Chains A and B, each alone.
Chain A
Amino acid sequence: MSLLAIKNLTVEYPSRKSTFTAVRDVTLSVERGEILGLVGESGAGKSTIGTAVMGLLDAPGRVAGGEILIDGQDARSIANLRGARVSMIFQDPLTSLNPLYTVAQQLTETIRTHRRMTRAEAHDEAVSLLDQVGIADAETRITQYPHQFSGGMRQRVVIALALCSQPDLIIADEPTTALDVSVQAQILDLIRDLAVSRGVGVILVTHDMGVIAQTADRVAVMYHGALVEEGKTAQIIHDPQHPYTQSLLAAVPRGERKLDRFPSLTYQPDGAPAPQEMTLTDDWLRSKGKDENQGTGPLVQVRGLGMRFLTRNAILPKNRSYIDAVKDLNFDINRGEVLGLVGESGSGKSTVARMIAGIHAPDTGSITFDGQDMAKIASSHERQALRRQIQMIFQDPYSSLNPRMRVRDIVAEPIHHNRLSETASETSRIVGDLLEVVGLGAAAGAKFPHEFSGGQRQRISIARALATRPRFLICDEPTSALDVSIQAQILNLLKDLRDALDLTILFISHDLPVVRQMCDRVAVMRNGQLCELAETEALFEAPRDPYTRELISLMPSL
């Protein structure tokens, strides 16, 4: 008998107008000690299956048909299902722990909910659990609060919490998506280890094919609420049968070789129009501002750049302590190139981007843009002219657009601000063209941001950035919040724009396969310092720095 058997499960979200079917007629099973990978893009219904098994569907969602059996028993009739039989690991370790309780309080509370133990016994058990999930010095660390742990360590605490009740089945919903690649490998190893040594069944919900290839025994692929294909991991990865699986795998950026363009997802079963290719109709975008001096040499020169944050304040300067977010950084960005900036979280790569964009002022060193030292520009008029040429695209397309403004106003704002157009009708023509260029169509201007998906919103962000006719784009993890097929579209769009408009791009990412496809040269950062800077192919084929080698070896591959 299977540990978990899901038979013909259908989950519906009824609303006043219509009923949305999130999961349609899905049949799955998980054995003890087995890891089932559940993949699909956002909206495919993979997380809904997990919450349905837990009985935690948010209202008004309901199980409209089918059965969920645990050891042959209907899950809904099991009294202490949650925790005791099935446990869950959430995506974001930074938000899944209660910030106001110590780790010990949260662990012992959970242990005592499920097992008859005295406070002291539960505490000992909690310490041993922390030890098992690989937290060193568990005895002292258990008394700390969640904010005193790093992201990877918090995910270990989350796993320890999920283990408190000795569950038979663990549903891990994107357990490593928020983590760095080196930490991701450790957490996946830990989950593997749990399945093998404790005989726990695991459902690993993820959108990342690389994670699945590394960890899962079997894979189930979902598309629009339905199961399209299921099989052994090796078979799915190397010999996918269903056209959706094939195109999904094709769209995963490869780390091992460089391609011209990102293969986009071609599977469109219900006749939805394929995303159109870009056409540049207007030459407004290409025309130059009169204040641009076309110099030679690198567009951006960074010399001795440093930035420190105060960690402990004191009245006497000698008692203050700082952390160097960026230390003595030197590099150039050549005209027309895409420079990749990679590193783990906390390596200082976003701080560098913010300093170049002028959001933070550097503590030491200088940034020269097109021959002008940015710190030495006295007049606000000149600074404004310079800033117009530098634009930034942020990671999260959900929070970087003002929800109360129409898209056309969002895109027109930088045009107004920089006085780039003479009349209102010209502005609206330019806005329409920009929206065409990024593939949304001029009609999108009348809508509000919430009417668009994540990928479409990132296109709006790009249109807004282009609205000042920039020469230099800073992209801070522009696709890490997006699905793989959408990611391919956005990255192709950026490539096309670069070619058509002679843009120079600083591309910040932790995703090495994407960087390999996207960038001409790559800079690797660690602890605020530059480890290595080389041509992309040279860096991936023959990394010189040991840290670069480590990062490349951890890169998940199919």
Chain B
Amino acid sequence: MIRFLIERLFQAAVVLIVVALLAFVMFRFAGDPVAQMVSLDTTAEDRAALREAMGLNNSLPVQFGQFVLRAVQGDFGLSYQMGQPVATLLAERLPASIELSLVAFGIALIVGIPMGVYSGLYPESWLSRAFLILSLAGISLPTFFIGIMLILIFGVELNLFPTFGRGETVDLGWWTTGLLTGSGWHSIILPACTLGLFQMTFIMRLVRAEILDVMRTDYIKFARARGIAKGRINYGHALKNTLVPVLTIAGLQLGSIIAFGIVTESVFQWPGIGLLFIQAISTVDIPVMSTYLLLVALIFVSINLIVDLLYLLVDPRLRVRSR
């Protein structure tokens, strides 16, 4: 178990180093960092001094080492555009993105799994067919369209929910949360539904396919022959056996909605990292972009690690191999 954890942590570190190299290359070679920072009338001597101060005259491996060292300490340099430390910018924005993603993901799981189980158990019923048609719509409609339609119907016409922003937030010192205020919850519902709809249909279809498979296995037939109650079979024996593939996909999906909820964040003007990233691209704010790259890698690597550990929790057969 410990061995397994150390192995995985080591792999995660390798992935992060590689991504750091990419981020560094982008930072160092996509344009001249000095030229980005100074104004046109800065003298050549001042530029050279700045270059020396930033360590840009050192050899590349040394520069990369310094880059990694600073990154580990949370120092990602200053944003060209806003002049603030990138770390601060991201730390301000990250809670909004993570809260939105988790709520969206929660909706996807809570609605998607029972729908998937139901339509897997009764593939012929009209309700299952309705779920499938709905899910096809969920997969094929673009996110921005769903977002705009939700704004139009629930925000503008019915005037039930706010159409932009996070509402009131509470500052916990290291984390600003909208989940402790009524208006925060009120504001998160529409964007979370928009972001979660695609995930929900995805999870539903996956669970459905897995349940269809599992219900054909001998151990389910045997459980039925032993007279085990239907609910125990469907939500115990069957659902648990579908979890390993569902966890894999769900983990990757969670990573991608945290990192790439850009469209939803723009439609709802949600102050998350996606919106920050869009602004960084339009202003060629290289430090923000390269830090974003690192952050995304970190999110995916951590989620994968958690998913791997969850596998062990779910499937005892994997525990033996990992020992």
Contact = CB atoms under 8 A, between A and B. Distances in A.
B237 A147 contact: no
B320 interface: yes
B227 A98 contact: no
Nearest to A94: B218
B139 to A, nearest CB: 27
Interface in A149-177: 158, 161-162, 164-165
A312 B321 CA distance: 8
A56 B221 contact: yes
Contacts of A158: 222
Interface stretch (B130-138, B185-193, B273-281, B311-319): B311-319
A80 interface: yes
Given A100-B240, A100-B241, A147-B320, A110 B228 contact: yes
B226 A82 contact: yes
Given A99-B317, A100-B315, A109-B232, A87 B225 contact: yes
The main secondary structure of chain A at its interface with chain B is: loop
A84 B228 CA distance: 10
A205 B195 CA distance: 54
A96 interface: yes
Interface residues of B, number: 22
Contact of B218 (A56, A82, A90, A114): A90
Contacts of B47: none
Contacts, number: 76
A96 B229 contact: no
Given A95-B218, A96-B222, A161-B222, A147 B316 contact: yes
Interface in B211-270: 217-219, 221-229, 232, 237, 240-241
Given A98-B241, A100-B314, A83 B227 contact: yes
A522 interface: no
B222 A88 contact: yes
A147 B226 CA distance: 21
A88 B226 CA distance: 7
A82 B240 contact: no
A54 interface: yes
Size bin of chain A's contact surface: 20 to 34
Interface string A199-231: 000000000000000000000000000000000
A145 B227 contact: no
A114 B227 CA distance: 8
A12 interface: no
A371 to B, nearest CB: 42
A332 interface: no
Contacts of A161: 222, 226
Nearest to B232: A109
A113 interface: yes
A397 to B, nearest CB: 21
B37 to A, nearest CB: 47
A215 to B, nearest CB: 21
A145 B217 CA distance: 18
A161 B219 CA distance: 12
A174 to B, nearest CB: 12
B70 to A, nearest CB: 33
A245 B221 CA distance: 31
A342 B238 CA distance: 38
Contact of A99 (B226, B227, B315): B315
B224 A82 contact: yes
A125 to B, nearest CB: 15
Contacts of B241: 98-100
A90 B218 CA distance: 8
B122 to A, nearest CB: 11
Given A98-B237, A99-B316, A147-B316, A162 B226 contact: yes
Interface in B291-323: 314-317, 320, 323
A413 interface: no
A266 B221 CA distance: 36
28 contacts: A56-B221, A82-B224, A82-B225, A83-B227, A83-B228, A84-B227, A87-B225, A88-B225, A90-B222, A90-B225, A92-B218, A95-B219, A96-B218, A96-B219, A97-B219, A99-B315, A99-B317, A100-B316, A109-B232, A110-B228, A113-B229, A114-B227, A147-B316, A147-B317, A147-B320, A148-B320, A165-B226, A165-B227
Q: Which 9 A-B pairs have the closest CB atoms?
A: A83-B227, A88-B225, A82-B227, A95-B218, A145-B316, A96-B218, A98-B219, A96-B222, A83-B226
Interface of B: 217-219, 221-229, 232, 237, 240-241, 314-317, 320, 323
